[in-house]
Amino acid sequence: MTGALPLLLLLCADPWELLAGYLTVTIEPLPPVVVGDTVTLKCNFRTDGNLREIVWFRVTDGGSSKQKIFTYDAMYNANFSHMEDFRRREDLVYQSTVRLPEAHMEDSGPYECHVGIYDRSSREKVVLASGSITLNVMSPPRSISVVAADTLTRFNRYEAQNFSLVCVVTGGKPAPEVYFKRDGELIQVVPFARGAQSRGLMAPEPRPLISRDLDDTKLQRSLSLLDQAGEPVRLDLEGPQPSYTGVPGLEPSPTTEMIPETVVSREFPRWVHSSDPLYYFNHSSTQYSDGTMEVSAMLTWSLNPQLDNDALFSCEVKHPALSMPMQAEVTLAAPKGPKLSMTPRRAKVGDTVRLKVEGFQIGTKGNDVFPEPLFTWTRVGGLLLDGSAEHNGKELILERVPAELNGSMFRCTAQNPLGSTNTHTRLIVFENPRIKKRIQDLTDAAHGRVQLGWSVLLITVTLGFT
């Protein structure tokens, strides 16, 4: 009978008194945000006890350390909830928010909300609970560019060659989606496998060369290249070249020609290739310390200059932080004939002459020549002034030109994988009055010494006879 008394007292007791109180903490889910946006982290918790404190942490170093970013201590704040009846259970809902006015990339990572309440049985005890969320800050790509994989490439007249465009996108997080278009239409690509090129997967099918008799793409040469006999001047390096310096031993005669003559010729391929090539696609990505990515996408195909010339290729990027695709575009274009300038315009013997490429004689529609052409200078029928056969670059410098260069023809060839073109210009060298006067003074001085020698000899002979 005595053992039944404690059980009876237990049944008669208020069941709420047997509970020490409860606490649940949740953080509202948050979608990825963009750099610069305002972010609000919301921590909701439900309890029947008295609030003790709220602490927000930012988790760093992969979870090994925590940085306290916000604290609320109810002990020193009068705005806490009071219960009318301590014996009556009352559910209270709280919300704590942390606002980031401008999100940065370094704000990405886990955040934790820790809440503590007083135990109902004793205010000396504290019940703790926490919730966590991971903030994902996205960054849109900062820049996009399209370049040729191989720069300053020579034109191959008789053999097809592969060509690659590289699209570089920097600053995106997460990595953006990159794709290529040709003339506004999406290119269907084939994933590029390692060693595919070495196994010949990208080699074009063999096709016969076009007959030379059918090649009428060469532009008519200027009639100004006809010599006095009506025969065309040879522009190749073989065979004798006509002299423009006159009779050997004499000074070059001045001329009234002021503007160098120019001839433009075009070189087109003599091979035919499929009009529907396979496009191979390859991409790689690099992650920076701030979490952003650099994506490099490469598009490779067997180039057909006759079809690819003036084709518009664009690289487009999709990213969740962008409201519309980001793009960069280039137009493939062969050179159209270098436009040359010469300084000084009236070159005299002993001057330093600069031949420079100032652009192209026929501009492409809305775009410069792409890819960047290689410029090569040669002298028709001989070597350059420094003894070399050719010079690469946009500028050719002839230091202290001699009279022998008068009438020399110089060829500037501009070429890229889509074609080759060249411009010829003739150098007219005028006599230099200062040099001529100096030579005359030296000649007169030498003549005076000869006269003095004859006089001394005559006096000696006279004295000998007397």
Same domain membership, residue 322 and residue 357? no
Residue 146's pLDDT is 95
* Mean pLDDT estimate for the chain: 74
Question: What does the pLDDT average to over 108-128?
Answer: 85
Burial class of residue 437 (count of CB atoms within 10 Å of its CB; 0-12, 13-18, 19+): exposed
Distance separating alpha carbons of residues 125 and 121, to the nearest angstrom = 8
pLDDT above 80 for 42:
yes
Picking from 138, 159, 184, the residue at the C-terminal end of a domain is 138
Does residue 91 lie in a domain region?
A: yes
The answer on 218 and 264 residing in a single domain is yes
Q: Does position 248 have pLDDT exceeding 90, yes or no?
A: no
Which pTM was predicted? 0.66
Answer yes or no: is 449 within a domain: no
Residue 401 domain-assigned (yes or no): yes
More confident residue, 255 or 326: 326
Task: Work out how many domains the chain is built from and give that number.
Answer: 3
Please write the tens of the pLDDT for every residue from 185-208: 999 999 976 444 443 444 434 333
- The verdict on 348 and 233 lying in the same domain is yes
Rounded Cα–Cα distance for residues 51 and 118 (Å): 6
Q: Is residue 465 part of a domain?
A: no
388 and 426 within one domain: yes
> Is 93 among the domain residues?
yes
The closest alpha carbon to 417, from 204, 152, 211, 235, belongs to 152
325 and 342 housed in the same domain = no
- Looking at the fold, whether 191 and 318 belong to one and the same domain comes out as yes
Q: What confidence score (pLDDT) does residue 298 get?
A: 96
pLDDT band at 49 (very low <50, low <70, confident <90, very high): confident
For residue 466, the model assigns a pLDDT of 36
434/234: higher pLDDT: 434
**Residue-wise DSSP of 6-21:** HHHHHHHS-GGGG---
pLDDT for residue 297: 96
Q: Are residues 263 and 370 in the same domain?
A: yes
- Residue 442's pLDDT band (cuts 50, 70, 90): low
Does 263 share its domain with 350?
yes
The CATH number that applies at residue 29 is: 2.60.40.10
Instruction: Indicate whether 457 belongs to any domain.
Output: no
| Beta partners for residue 333, in sequence order | 370
For residue 451, tell me if it sits in a domain: no
Q: Can you give the pLDDT at residue 181?
A: 96
pLDDT value, residue 193: 64
pLDDT at 182 over 80: yes
pLDDT, mean of residues 6-14: 38
Distance CA 167, CA 252 (A): 55
Tell me the pLDDT band of 437, cut-offs 50, 70 and 90. Answer: low
Residue 101: cis peptide before it, omega within 30 degrees of 0 = no
Residues 131 and 147 in one domain: no
Measured distance CA(377)–CA(396) in Å, rounded: 7
Domain annotation covers residue 448: no
Can you spell out the DSSP letters for 116-130?
A: EEE-SS-TT-EEEEE
- Are 173 and 314 in a shared domain? yes
Q: Write out the residue range of the structural domain in which residue 79 sits.
A: 14-138
Work out the average pLDDT over 91-98.
79
More confident of the two residues 78 and 260 = 260
In degrees and rounded to multiples of 5, residue 56 shows phi and psi of -100, 135
For residues 299 and 228, state if they share a domain.
no
Bridging pattern class, strands 347-348 and 391-392 = unpaired
Q: Tens of pLDDT along 382-436?
A: 999 999 999 999 999 999 999 899 999 999 999 999 999 999 999 999 987 766 5
* Residues 340, 414 within the same domain: yes
